[in-house]
Structure 1
Amino acid sequence: MATKRKVNNLLALAVLSVIVERPMHRYEIATALKDRGKDRDMDIKWGSLYTVVQNMAKANFLEIIGSERDGARPERTIYRITDAGRAELLDWTRELIAVPESEHHRFVAGLSILGVIPPDEVIELLGKRVEALRHSIEAVHRELADIAESGLPRLFIIETEYGMAMLEAEMAWANSLRAELVDGTFPMLDEWRRFHADHLSPSEVTALVERGMVEKRSS
């Protein structure tokens, strides 16, 4: 089970991952996060950075060590990580790697109500998804090739490899589902088409399915 964190926002983890190197002010933190592509790895809302940093200071994960002023710009507060912040960084990272946790996914939400769309349209929609996934995979392959040429150690691109593996698995699964619909091997495909052809309501569909299951059991 996931630990209840004092600052339960992945942006806080991202901040800890960069400020562990040296003290920074918020602008430097944001620049480091963008330079390292953390906004691709985590759901980062840049507008909440100020609040997250403040909350981390209140939680004793960061401490203020001074400030600086650059010309006419406002004074910038400089933070550094505390021992408690280092412990939080390590504990949180260990948990994310070791403890699986259910995550909401837009695709899963769509699949959960797939029946509202006629199967022939689903075939078309899945084809579009597969094509989009193929383009994404090709882009990641190019990115990894560029990274390999740069000599960056694999340790620092492991999340990109994982992302590509998930894209490839999703594309394979979507292709498989589409193939079942195309060749007619998907269960109750004829009934699914009839539900839409007869404009049946969800309650009527449920009643038909339940009746069919009862008849199947009694036969």
Structure 2
Amino acid sequence: MMILGLVRWMQPVHGYDVRRELLSWNADKWANVQPGSIYHALRKLSEEGLLRAVATEQVGARPARTTYEVTAVGEDEFQTLLRGFWWGLSEPLDPFSAAFSFLPALPRSEAAAALRNRANLLRASIESMRASLESDWMRNTKPVHVGWMFELWSARAEAEMGWCEQIATRIDSGVSYLPAELENGEVWPHQVGSRSPDAK
């Protein structure tokens, strides 16, 4: 959707300009669009009939540049994807969620320390976003809705930061979180290679 949308907005446009625009948006950090995959994505979208290569030119010894525009099929696909993301709900994938599901595998002290460290990282991220919101760069060069996106990311980070601190406090207080079968003093295996007798 990001690449289709940018080609649609900037067309006719070279892949280089699409890449430069996505990098200026830091899309590799929040939209999972990696700079190295952009040219491949443009070719693939062309093969699928969503984009049309309208010209290829070469200046001197520089690599040839292809100019793209969106086809009617690509326009339909963009509108479908856009509205799907606007009206639907997709939870962002975060490896931390997978790691947290194994909370009992960490010693209490380490788990609490790691959560507080995550809270500190989130706090630094929030401060950075707030600084960006107040900067001339944001006020003078970015559309208003980009600032609104920063506000959303900041609000999410604040909520998670508070949660991390709250859970760290619960862990430190001795609240039990072991599975029921381990409540009687058995130890959850947390060393590499250690397994309980019944582990599979």
Q: TM-score, normalised by structure 1?
A: 0.76
Higher helix share: 1
SS state of the match for residue 63, structure 1?
Answer: strand
User: Which of the two has higher C-alpha Rg?
Assistant: 1
Paired with 2:92 and 2:126, the residues of 1 have a C-alpha distance of 22
Structure 2 alignment gaps of length 5 or more: none
Q: CA RMSD in A?
A: 2.8
Match of 2:187 in 1: 195
Alignment of 1:50-89 (within 5 A): 50-89=39-78
1:125 aligns with 2:117: no
Shift in Å, 1:203 = 5.5
Match of 1:211 in 2: none
Shift in Å, 1:188 = 5.6
Match of 1:37 in 2: 26
Select which of 156, 164, 175 maps to 1:174: 164
| Partner AA of 1:142 in structure 2 | A
- The answer (yes or no) to whether the contact 1:66–1:79 under 8 Å persists in 2 is yes
Provide Cα deviations, 1:29-75, integer angstroms capped at 9, x if missing partner.
Answer: 11121123222321122222222111101221110111222222132
- The answer (yes or no) to whether the contact 1:26–1:50 under 8 Å persists in 2 is yes
Aligned residues: 193
Shift in alpha-carbon separation, 1:145–1:56, aligned structure 2, 3 A: same
- The answer (yes or no) to whether the contact 2:50–2:70 under 8 Å persists in 1 is yes
Structure 1 alignment gaps of length 5 or more: 1-12, 206-219
Match of 2:2 in 1: 14
* Identical positions, percent: 24
Q: TM-score, normalised by structure 2?
A: 0.82
Runs of 4 or more above 6 Å deviation: none
